[in-house]
Chain A
Amino acid sequence: MADFWRRYRRNKGAVVGLVVLILVVIMAATAPWLFPGSPWDMASAPFMPPGEMGMWLGTDSLGRDVAAGIAHGARISLLVGAVSTVAALSVGVTLGAIAGYLGGFVDDVVMRFTEFFQTIPSFVLAILLVAIFTPTIGSVVAAIAIVSWPPVARVVRAEFLSLRSREFVQAAEVLGKSRIAIVLGDILPNALSPIIVLASLMVASAILLESALSFLGLGDPNLMTWGFLIGSGRSVIRLAWWMSVFPGLAIFVTVLSLNLVGEGLSDALNPRLARGRA
C-alpha cells in the first residue's frame, strides 16, 4: 500500500487531481451548513454580479444564490456519478467475466448483446430512456448505467480471456476448485487494475452525462444540479455570464481531476507502463 502511494505520488497531476476531488467532496458534504436552506429559495435581488451583496458568485434570474446551487449540485453530481458507476460496473463485470471465462458460444451471445447497446449512440439512448421513464434521479442513474456498462464488459472479457489461459488458473483447475472460486479468487483480483482505472474515468463521464441531461431539462426537476444551472442561465448568458460560467467551471474541474486521478491510478497500478512516460 505504501508502495502504491509512492508510485501514485510520482505523477504530480494525479496528486493535484486527488486534492481537488477531495475538496469537491468536502464541499458536497458540508453544503447544508455552508448554505443552509434550499438552494431554490430566493436569497437576494436577481441578476446580482459576483461579489455584490454578499453573493460570492452572484445570483440568477430569480435571485437564487449561484454558489449555493453549485455546492448543493455537487451532491447530486457526485452521487449520480458514483451510483451509476457502481451499477454499470456490476453489470459489466458480471457479463464480461461470464463471457471471458466460459468463452465459446456463451461468449458470442454475450458479446452480440453488448454490441447491440454499443451500436446506439449512448447519449441518444440515455435521453430516450429518461424521456420514457419520466425524469427522476432514479431513472437518470439507471439510464447512465445502462449506456455505460458495455465498455466495462469488453475490458473485463479481454482480461479474463488472457488470464484464463495462464498457468496459475490452470493450476487452480487441476486442484479441483469450483468455477466460482476460480473466477472470484484467482482471475478477478488479477484483473482489478484496469477495472479501477476505468471506473474512475466512468465517474467523470457519468457526471458529464448527467449534466448534459439536466441541461436539456431532463434532470430530476426537484433537485439542483450543475447541468440545470447552466441550462437555466444559457438564455441570459450575455446579460449574466456568471450564471453559466461558474457551474461550467465546477464540471470542468471535477471531470478533469477525476481524469487525472484515473491516470495516476493507472500509473500506480501498472508501474511498467508508466516508466516510459516520466
Chain B
Amino acid sequence: MSLLRVENLTVALPPGADRAHAVEGISLTLEAGEILCVVGESGSGKSITANAVMGLLPKGLPVKSGALELLGQDLRGLASEELRKLRGDRMAMIFQEPMTALNPLMRVGDQIAEALQVHGAGGNAAARVQELLAAVNLPDPAAIAKSHPFRLSGGQRQRVMIAMALALEPALLIADEPTTALDVTTQMQILRLIREIQSRRGTGVLFITHDFGVVAEIADRVAVMQHGRIVEQGNAAQVLNAPEHPYTKALIAAVPKGAAERDLPPPAPELLRVLGLRKTYSRGGWFSGRVSVPAIQDADFSLARGETLGVVGESGSGKSTLARCIVKLVVPEAGEIRFDGTDLRPLSRAGWKPYRSRVQMIFQDPYASLNPRRLVGEAIAEGPITHGLPRAEALDRARELLALVQLDPSAMARYPHEFSGGQRQRIGIARALAMRPELLIADEPVSALDVSVQAQVLALLADIRKKFGLTMLFITHDLRVAAQICDRVAVMSRGAIVEMGPTSEVFANPRHAYTQALLASIPGRGWTAPAAA
C-alpha cells in the first residue's frame, strides 16, 4: 500500500479562466520515506495538486473526478470534520512564505503547543515543543519557544513551521515551495533539514518547487507538470540527466549553466568608478536612541566600458541600495561616483538631468515597474520626450525598440496589464534603451520570472549588450545567473564588498569564507544539466 495515491485527479477552474481544468488526469504515488518533487512553472497546477490532497481547495475549484488515498483511506469521501482530524496528525504542510505563516501575536512555543492540543496530544506540550525545536536544529530552543515570530529570521521561522508540521509525526509532509522566499545559504540548510528528518522518521515528502537545482539536491523521484498535466515522471537521476519530454528538456536547458569559461573583454577605458561609497539607514524617535544600520560600507569598484559587473549577495546585503545610490534614488552620505570623469554624487536634480539619458535602470518587479495607466508606447517614448526629442521621433524609436525586444508593434497601443511578466520585463528593457544609455543598471531583472522566461530575457540582455556595446551593472542574488552573464563579479555581505574578480576565477577559487559558503549553497551544484539535444 502506498502512502499517498493520487489517481486521475481533475480539478475544475471557474468558467472563463484560460483553461478548463486547473489540473487534469493527474496520477501520482508516494511511498513512505520517499521525496517526490513536483516541478513546474507558475500556473502549472502544482500547488493545486498539493492543496487538493490537503483538502484546502477554495470553493471555486472543485475536485471533479479522480481518487485521493492516504494510507488506503479515501480522502475525497471524508466529511470536513474527519479531514480536519487527519490534517496535522497524519498529513502536514509547510508553506512558501514563512514571514506570514505564523501568528505575529503569539509566542512560537504556544503556536506549536496549540497544534499538539488540537489533536489531543497537549499533555506534555512544553517538553515536546522544546524537543521539536531542537529537532529542527534551532539553537537554544527554550529561548526560541518564548519568542514572538518577529524576533526570528526567515530561516528560523521556516524551521518553526517545519517543527509545527512535524509535531504529530505525520506520515505525509507536503512542502509547497518552502525555500523560495529564503536566501541560498538558508535554503541549503532547510533542504538538508528536510532530508535529514525525512530519513530519520521515514516521512513521505511531497515537495513542490520550480527550481531544478533544488530537485537535484533533494528528490528521489520527480514529476514535471505543464498546463495542469504531468508530462514526465520518473527517478530523479533519470529525469534530470536524460529527460524525455520536450518540455522537461526545455526547462532543464533553461537552467542557468554556471560559470562558463569566457574571455575577459580587452582592456577598455573606465566608465564608472565608485570610491568609498557609504550609506547608513537610521531610525529612531524622540524617546529611544537612534539605531543606525550601515547599508553600504565604503564600496569601491570600477567598471570599464563594455564590461558587465555582477553584484551578488543575499537579501539585506546592500546590493540593491548600491544600485539605487548610483542613480540617486537613494542619496549616499559619503563617497564618489565618478561617471566618465564627473562625480555624480553632489549633483542637484537639474545637474543630474543630462546624465539621466546616459545611465538607465531596469527594475526587479515587472508588475510594479510600469505605470498601469499609461500605454506601452507612451511609457517607452516618455523618456526621450522629456529630454527634448520630438514626439513623433520618440514614438518611432519606441516602435523600433519593441521589435528589438521581440514584441509586436501593436503593443504600442496597449496597457501593461495585457502582458505577461516576461513581456513586461521586455517593455522595461525597451524603456531603458530608449534613452540610448551607456551604463545600464539591472536590479534583479529576472528574479521574478519563470526559468524558461528568465533564460529568454537573459539571452536578450546579452544580445543587446553586444549590439549597443553597453556597460552593465547586474545585481542578482542568483549565483548561477551571475555566472552566466557577468564578466566580473563582486560579492557583497552586510554592506561590504568582500570579494571581487573575474567570474570564472571567483567561482573556481573563492577566497573569502562568505563566497565559499555562498558557492557551496548553490542548489544542485553537483549536477550538471545535460546539453540540450
Contact = CB atoms under 8 A, between A and B. Distances in A.
Interface string B347-373: 001001100110111011100111111
Interface residues of B, number: 29
A168 B369 contact: yes
A190 B371 contact: yes
Contact of B372 (A170, A175, A178, A190): A190
The secondary structure that dominates the A interface is helix
Given A167-B368, A171-B363, 16 more contacts: A167-B365, A168-B371, A168-B372, A170-B329, A174-B359, A175-B386, A175-B435, A176-B352, A176-B353, A176-B387, A179-B349, A185-B374, A186-B371, A186-B374, A190-B372, A190-B373
Interface string B422-441: 00000010010001000000
Given A167-B363, A167-B364, A181-B386, A174 B369 contact: no
B382 interface: yes
Contact of B386 (A171, A177, A179): A177
Nearest to B363: A167
Contacts of B435: 175
Interface string A168-195: 1011111111110100011001100000
A10 interface: no
Contacts of B431: 171, 175
A170 B352 contact: no
Given A181-B386, A189-B373, A190-B373, A174 B361 contact: yes
B327 interface: yes
Contacts of B371: 168, 172, 186, 189-190
A176 B386 contact: yes
Contacts of B356: 174-176
A178 to B, nearest CB: 8
B331 to A, nearest CB: 12
A210 B44 CA distance: 58
A12 interface: no
A172 B373 CA distance: 14
Contacts of B353: 176
Contacts of A168: 368-372
9 contacts: A166-B368, A167-B368, A174-B360, A175-B382, A175-B435, A176-B357, A176-B386, A178-B386, A190-B371
B385 to A, nearest CB: 10
Interface string A152-167: 0000000000000011
Contacts of B387: 176
Contacts of B421: none
Contacts of B363: 167, 170-171
A83 to B, nearest CB: 28
Interface of B: 324, 327-329, 349, 352-353, 356-357, 359-361, 363-365, 368-374, 382-383, 386-387, 428, 431, 435
Nearest to B349: A179
A167 B425 CA distance: 12
Contacts of A175: 356, 360, 382-383, 386, 431, 435
Contacts of A190: 371-373
Contacts of B374: 185-186
By CB atoms of chain A within 10 A, which of B328, B359, B370, B382 has the most? Answer: B382
A272 to B, nearest CB: 13
A168 B431 CA distance: 11
Contacts of A179: 349
A154 B370 CA distance: 26
B525 to A, nearest CB: 32
A176 B328 CA distance: 11
A26 B323 CA distance: 59
Contacts of A166: 368
By CB atoms of chain B within 10 A, which of A172, A174, A177, A190 has the most? Answer: A174
A174 B328 CA distance: 8
A175 B378 CA distance: 13
A174 B373 contact: no
B369 A171 contact: yes
Contacts of B368: 166-168
Given A166-B368, A176-B387, A171 B373 contact: no
Contacts of B364: 167
Contacts of A178: 386
Nearest to B357: A176
A179 B387 CA distance: 14
A167 B370 CA distance: 7
B337 to A, nearest CB: 14
Contacts of B369: 167-168, 170-171
B383 A176 contact: yes
Nearest to A178: B386
B473 to A, nearest CB: 13
Contacts of B428: 171
Contacts of A170: 324, 329, 361, 363, 369
Contacts of A173: 327-329
Nearest to B368: A167
By CB atoms of chain A within 10 A, which of B365, B370, B374 has the most? Answer: B374
B207 to A, nearest CB: 31
A185 B400 CA distance: 24
B52 to A, nearest CB: 23
Nearest to B353: A176
A258 B471 CA distance: 57
A190 B416 CA distance: 14
By CB atoms of chain B within 10 A, which of A166, A167, A170, A185 has the most? Answer: A167
By CB atoms of chain A within 10 A, which of B327, B349, B371, B383 has the most? Answer: B371
B398 to A, nearest CB: 13
Contacts of A177: 382-383, 386
Contacts of B360: 174-175
Contacts of A186: 371, 374
Contacts of B324: 170
Interface in A81-118: none
Contacts of A167: 363-365, 368-369
Nearest to B387: A176
Nearest to A189: B373
A27 B345 CA distance: 63
Contacts of A181: 386
A180 to B, nearest CB: 12
Contacts of A189: 371, 373
A139 to B, nearest CB: 38
A4 to B, nearest CB: 13
B119 to A, nearest CB: 31
Contacts of B349: 179
B329 A174 contact: yes
A174 B387 CA distance: 12
B355 to A, nearest CB: 8
A189 B357 CA distance: 25
